[in-house]
């Protein structure tokens, strides 16, 4: 495992947002959802493609707070522009479990 400095860590802008819209993404090569996430304030709403279909359905995701990296450049995924990277952990079966605060926090709050 390589080490980074605290200044390196601060370059990664991880914020909390709320999923306001979620739908299947059938055009994606791997099973995924299209997400629209409200990060509030100056960041606003951002789109994301997320391979989280094993543990979640679009209806389960609406209103859920998630953590995302908001300062990566946008990435074209098929016909969809993904603007944020939602964070999660891989479970024992290789499926993604979303990372989120365990209590509600203001939208746009930065991870410290």
Q: What are the φ and ψ backbone dihedral angles of 68, each rounded to 5 degrees?
A: -145, 150
Taking the alpha carbons of 85, 60, 88, 112 in that order, is the dihedral positive or negative? positive
Distance CA 51, CA 95 (A): 8
Q: What pTM was computed for the model?
A: 0.94
1: pLDDT confidence band, cut at 50, 70 and 90? confident
Distance CA 53, CA 18 (A): 18
The tokens describing 16, both together, are 């909390």
For the domain bounded by 6-98, which CATH number is listed?
2.40.50.140
Residue ranges per domain, the chain?
6-98
pLDDT of 30-86, one tens digit each? 999 999 999 999 999 999 999 999 999 999 999 999 999 999 999 999 999 999 999
Q: What are the φ and ψ backbone dihedral angles of 14, each rounded to 5 degrees?
A: -100, 120
- Residue-level pLDDT at 106: 97
């Amino acid at each position: 495992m390589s080490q980074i400095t605290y200044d390196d860590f601060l370059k990664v802008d991880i914020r909390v947002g709320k999923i306001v819209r979620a739908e299947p993404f059938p055009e994606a090569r791997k099973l995924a959802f299209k997400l629209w996430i409200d990060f509030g304030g100056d960041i606003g709403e951002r789109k994301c493609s997320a391979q989280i279909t094993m543990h979640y359905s679009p209806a389960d995701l609406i209103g859920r707070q998630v953590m995302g990296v908001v300062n990566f450049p946008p990435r074209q995924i098929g016909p969809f522009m993904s603007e944020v990277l939602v964070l999660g952990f891989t479970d024992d079966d290789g499926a993604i479990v979303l990372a989120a605060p365990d209590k509600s926090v203001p939208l746009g709050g930065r991870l410290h």
